[in-house]
């Protein structure tokens, strides 16, 4: 259990909850507690999907600038790899991950949301990468994950200007996937995550890995990744259960065991 970040598990859904008043500023301690929670969610068999949530008021307003203000070049050389890898630990959770975005998700907060598979946001949420206004650039994946999500032109517009992106625009450009009233964000995220509680866990994991790794390589290599993942699932018990259920009862009625 961390001081500011905890993993709470209920009915197969793990919630990585950020709670550092007032705005969930992502200092080094919070970053490392996010890493620990992500690793715990990865390792726990009772966690089938993950929600990242900053509370009713704010997702995360960014890095702790007070902590960074006096850091030298060599200080940041030493810290930057740990900063990136803490966020990457969330992206590498081999289970479906949804960010429940309320209030502000700026700078590091936006970068954390980008590590999720999908983003459900409040209809009054605000996202952005305003680092340029501090004389720096995103350093926890923003230049890479945002570009892969919305394309280079839109990513450059957001990153080079540092402007804030309101919820309706975020939905239009694919930065978020669904808008709901602010009071319903967490419930909607849990609802999405809950559909995996009884899923074929190894198939879900293989599908996520095939998509993520395929984005990093050429088409031929991506197809080979898919082929290997596809074939490997024929060693699972759930594949046998799923196909038998389909032949007997039709699609969508299998009772998987996660094995």
Residues noted as catalytic: 63, 108, 111, 131
Q: What is the DSSP string of 112-161?
A: HHHTSSEEEEETT-EEE-GGGGGT----SSIIIIIHHHH-HHHHHHHHHH
Q: Which residues contact 25 (CB under 8 A, 6 or more apart)?
A: 60, 61, 62, 63, 64, 65
The whole-angstrom separation of Cα 21 and Cα 55 is 10
Does the CA dihedral 197-200-205-211 come out positive or negative?
Answer: negative
Q: Cα(first)–Cα(last) distance of the chain, in Å? A: 29
């Amino acid at each position: 259990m961390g001081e500011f970040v905890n993993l709470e598990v209920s009915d197969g859904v793990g919630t990585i909850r950020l709670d550092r008043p007032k705005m969930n500023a992502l200092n080094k301690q919070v970053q490392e507690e996010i890493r620990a929670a992500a690793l715990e969610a990865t390792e726990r068999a009772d966690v089938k999907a993950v929600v990242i949530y900053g509370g009713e008021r704010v997702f995360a307003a960014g890095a702790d600038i007070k902590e960074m203000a006096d850091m030298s070049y060599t200080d940041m050389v030493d810290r930057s790899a740990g900063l990136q890898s803490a966020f990457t630990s969330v992206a590498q959770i081999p289970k479906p991950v949804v960010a429940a975005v309320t209030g502000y998700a700026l700078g590091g907060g936006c970068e954390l949301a980008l590590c999720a598979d999908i983003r459900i946001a409040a209809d009054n949420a605000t996202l952005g990468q305003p680092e340029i206004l501090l004389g720096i650039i995103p350093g926890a994946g923003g230049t890479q994950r945002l570009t892969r999500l919305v394309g280079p032109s839109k990513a450059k517009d957001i990153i080079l200007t540092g402007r804030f992106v309101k919820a309706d625009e975020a939905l239009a450009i694919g930065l978020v996937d669904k808008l709901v009233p602010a009071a319903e964000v967490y419930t909607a995220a849990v609802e999405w995550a809950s559909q995996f509680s009884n899923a074929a866990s190894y198939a879900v994991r293989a599908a996520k890995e095939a998509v993520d790794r395929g984005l990093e390589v050429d088409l031929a290599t991506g197809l080979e990744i898919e082929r290997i993942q596809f074939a490997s699932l024929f060693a699972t018990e759930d594949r046998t259960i799923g196909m038998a259920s389909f032949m007997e009862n039709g699609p969508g009625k299998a009772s998987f065991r996660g094995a």
